[in-house]
Amino acid sequence: MELKLKDEEKLDELYYDKDDDRLQDVNAEYAENVELPVIKTTSTYTGPKEKGHGGFIIKMVVLALFIGGVAYLVFGVLLRKPKELMDCVNMDTAKLEDELGIKLTRNDDTAKRVRHYSNSDLTTDGNGDIAVLYINGKQLGIHIDSDKYKLFNIEIGDPRYDAEDKMTYQKEDSMQILNDMYNGTSTSVFYYNRTKNDCVMVNYNDKTNRVVSMTYFNDFEKITERLNWH
C-alpha cells in the first residue's frame, strides 16, 4: 500500500485543480461560435444557364444545305431526262429557238469542231450546247455538245456499244475515216443511210470510248464529197 504525506496530498490536489481549470478554458474556447470569413465572388448564381441558339441554327443551316444538295443531285442530275431532238434536225435557227426556248448566235468555234468533208465552208448558229449547221446558206443539220439533249436515243456519255445498240436512227452502214483515227483525242463514226441521203456522226473519246458530241447531216453526199469512195 502506497502512503503519502499530507503535504504531498495537498500538492497533488493543487495540480489537479490547475489541470481542471486549463481543460475548462480549452472547452470554453472551442464551445464559442467562431465566425468564418466571407468569401467574395464576382458573380451571383442565378440557376443553370440556358444554352445559346447559335450552334443549333448553324447545324440546321448545314443540314438544310446538305438536303438541298442531295435533292439537286437526285432530281436535277440523276433523274433529269435529256430532250430528244430527232424531230428537230431539219429546223432552221428561228424554229429551233422557238421549239427549245433558247437563243442561238453565229458561233465559229462550234463550226471548227464539226468534222465534215465538204468542199464548202460550214457555219453554225449555236449557244455552246446545240447549233444549227449551214453550208452556202442552206440548213444542213444540227450539232449537239450538251447532255441536256439526245439524238436518235443517243446521249452524251454513252459508251460506244450502248450508243450503237440503242440508236433509233435507221442506218444502212457506218464508216470511220482513217485520218480521224490518228488525229486529235476523239474518233468520228458516220452512221449513214444512202437511200435517204442523210447520216448521224457520233464522236467518241479515244480514252473512254464514250460519246462526246453528235451531229446530224441531212445531205450525206455533200458532207462527204471530198472522200474518194464517191
Max distance between CA atoms of the chain, in angstroms, equals: 159
Low-confidence ranges of the chain (pLDDT < 50): 1-6, 11, 14
In this prediction, residue 3 carries a pLDDT of 46
Q: Which pLDDT does position 1 carry in this prediction?
A: 45
Long-range contacts of 4-10 (CB under 8 A, 24+ apart): none
CA 165/CA 163 separation, integer angstroms? 5
Q: What is the pLDDT of residue 38?
A: 56
Residues 194, 65: Cα–Cα separation, whole Å: 54
Q: What DSSP character marks residue 47?
A: S
Among the listed residues 147, 164, 153, the one whose alpha carbon sits nearest the alpha carbon of residue 213: 147
Q: For the chain, which residues make up each domain, given as ranges?
A: 84-223
Q: What is the DSSP string of 76-95?
A: IIIT--PEE-GGGTT--HHH
Q: Measure the CA–CA gap between 46 and 43, rounded to whole angstroms.
A: 9
- Picking from 110, 221, 214, the residue whose alpha carbon sits closest to that of residue 167 is 214
> If you count them, how many residues does the chain have?
230
Q: How far is CA 143 from CA 66, 86, 146, 193, 215, in A?
A: 36, 12, 10, 18, 4
Q: Contact, 191 vs 200, CB < 8 A?
A: yes
Residues 6+ apart with CB under 8 A from 192: 171, 172, 173, 174, 175, 198, 199, 200, 220
